[in-house]
Structure formats: structure tokens, C-alpha cells
Amino acid sequence: MIQKRVLSGVQPTGSIHIGNWLGAIRNWVDLQDTHDTFVCVVDLHAITVPHDPKKLANETLSTAAIYLACGMDPKKCSIFIQSEITAHSELCWILNCITPLNWMERMIQFKEKAIKQGDNVSIGLLDYPVLMAADILLYDSDLVPVGEDQKQHLELARDIAAQRINAKFAKKDHPILKVPQPLILKNGAKIMSLTDGTKKMSKSDQNENSRISLLDSPDLITKKIKKAKTDSEIGLEFNNPIRPEANNLLNIYSIISGKDPEDVAIECKNIGWGKFKPLFTEAMITALSPIQNKYNDLMNDPYELTNVLKEGKIKAEEVSQETLKKVKNALGFYKGS
């Protein structure tokens, strides 16, 4: 049976946190068993906000190592670095030229991130969703796992493929690009900040205590959880809108401990924060320990990692060049001699 193709990625914009893991990477690990899975480290996206050139390469490699440490298996999926495949930038340029500017100005994430950049906001940040469309469309992806925050970007990728490429340049019944579908995950988790249960956990949050990074030491994890925001109620509960922190920590606890939410609700119903936090800390340290061990092995001897990336690059190059050629042909580019 032909497997449906899935594509996803994370930006190497800092240390990967439990939100990236539980909301994205963990799901890819399941998907690779049933889908033709491509995952990349989207380093071209990482430079749409100010970045440190001294850190970019290391963070890129480190992110790829985290994919493997979390359970991505190169025998079941292709792992590659976005900037190593030049077709991403090339298709992005072509898509830029056929995408109306007013589609881009509607993008919520741009508006949110642009506010933080002030006068320095780049064209790259505005163009982020077109590059994302190029990433997805190059691989003929059937499905793209998306959280709430990325739904609008996927919709844009679909509109570009269907309305701007296929409708304008394809011969009848011979679409050039596959129009991808969103993959709404059963286990899709939105992990909130430890310091504000109403805000998404994020790499770019100025407050380090707002997130647990996958590579945080047990001491640091303990410290961050001690500082995590609480409320004055006794007993923790899910889904009480005035207790977002309780809901967030119970949700995380349930996922990392592998316990059903119903069981967690019973376990934590009558205990206070003082009792819950050590339980939560222990579960977190236990869950992250094997990931950290594997990560350290990979980074101490990067031979395996670089080989995985070389193989991923070959596969990605093959698929992406074919799509790019189809698009260039349809748009009438000179084919060379």
C-alpha cells in the first residue's frame, strides 16, 4: 500500500522545549510507522527574526540530534536540513511572484511577531508562510501535522497550490502541485508557559523559567517547576477556565507519565501544589532522561548524525527537484540546452 506523505519541521531558534516535543516531534514518532515521513530542521525560517550566526549551525545540528533522540528513526523517515536543499528558496521565490501581497498581510503570526520586531521587521518574516508553502509543496505532501497556530499558514499553502499554480498553469485534470490536507492529531497537545498558563510555551519567550527545555538538567528542571505559577486553590483540576496553570501542568503530567487524564484527575483532586510539584518534577526528569542520554551520545560522536543528514539530503533533493522542475516547466522557464 502506498503510504501518505507527511512533512514537518521545527526552527532551530533556541533550545527545543517540551512544547515542541509534545506538540510536534512526539507525534512524528508515531507517524513514521504509518506514513512516508519527511522532517527537516527549518533553518531558513530561523533567520526571519534576528539570529546569531555563531549559534545557527550548532543549533541546527542539535535540533536534528533531538529528532533522533526523541525517537525519529532514519530507517522509517527522511531527516534533512532545509537550507541544504536549495529548491526551498527557489520555489519560495517563484511562489512569491504569484502570491498576492494582501494574502500575506492577513497572517496573524506575522502581525504578532512583527510587533516584537518594531522597525526592524524583515520581508523574510512577512514571507515566512510562503517559504512554508514551498517546504510543503515541494515534497508532494499529502498531510501536514498542524497545531492551531499553523492552520492559517497551511490554508495559505493550499490556496497557493490550488488557486495560483494549478488553476493558472496546469493543464486540465493534470495538477502540478498536490494540495495538502491538515492532519489534526488525536494527541495534539498545546503546551502553555510555566509562568502564564494562558500563553503558549515558546523558545522566544524572554523568561527562561517559562519553558522546560529538553536538555535542561534535573536541577534546572526542579528549579523551574518550583517557580512555576500556581494559584491558591487546594486540589488540581482540568479544564477550569480560571485555573489555566492547573490545567496545563496536569495535561503535561498526564502525557509524560503515560497516565490517562481521568486517572490523573483522581490522583490530583485532593492534593495541593506543594505535593503535586515534586511528583511532576520526578515524572519530567524520568521522561527526559533517555532523550538526554541519546542526545549526548549523538553529539559526542556526530558520525551517525551527519550520515543520517547526508542520506536525508539525498532523498529530499531527489523529490524536491522533481517538483521544482514541474513548476518551472509549467511557468515556461528556459529548459537549458
Answer whether 143's CB lies under 8 Å from 181's CB: yes
Give how many residues touch ligand AQP by CB under 6 A: 18
Residue 203 touches ligand AQP, criterion: CB under 6 A = yes
Active-site residue 200, yes or no? yes
Q: Which of 55, 76, 113, 199 is catalytic?
A: 113
C-beta of 193: minimal distance to ligand AQP in Å? Answer: 8
> Which of the stretches 66-74, 76-84, 167-175, 202-210 binds ligand AQP when contact is defined by CB under 6 A?
202-210
317: nearest Cα among 41, 84, 110:
84
113 or 243: CB nearest ligand AQP: 113
Q: At what angle do helices 218-227 and 273-300 cross, to 10 degrees?
A: 150
**Candidate ranges 71-79, 132-140, 189-197, 295-303; the one touching ligand AQP (CB under 6 A):** 189-197
62 makes contact with ligand AQP (CB under 6 A): no
DSSP-assigned beta bridge partners for residue 81: 41
Q: Which helix (H) or strand (E) holds 273?
A: helix 273-300
Residue 269 amino acid letter: K
113 has catalytic annotation? yes
CA 88, 299, 51: angle at the middle one, nearest 5?
45
| Sequence-separated contacts (24+) of 110-118 with Cβ below 8 Å | 113/49, 116/204, 117/49, 117/50
Binding window for ligand AQP (CB under 6 A); candidates: 28-36, 145-153, 244-252, 327-335: 145-153
Distance in Å, CB of 150 to ligand AQP, minimum: 5
Decide if 203 is catalytic. yes
Indicate which single residue of 34, 89, 204, 289 sits in contact with ligand AQP (rule: CB under 6 A).
Answer: 204
Q: Interface with ligand AQP includes 190 (CB under 6 A)? A: yes
Say whether residue 10 binds ligand AQP (CB under 6 A): yes
* Conformation bin of residue 219: beta by default, left when phi > 0, alpha when psi is -120 to 50: alpha
d(CA 162, CA 180): 10
Task: Count Cα neighbours of 41 within 13 Å in the Cβ-side half-sphere.
Answer: 28
Residues at the site binding ligand AQP, with contacts judged by CB under 6 A: 10-11, 13, 19-20, 23-24, 147, 149-150, 189-191, 200-204
Question: What are the residue numbers of the active site?
Answer: 113, 200, 203
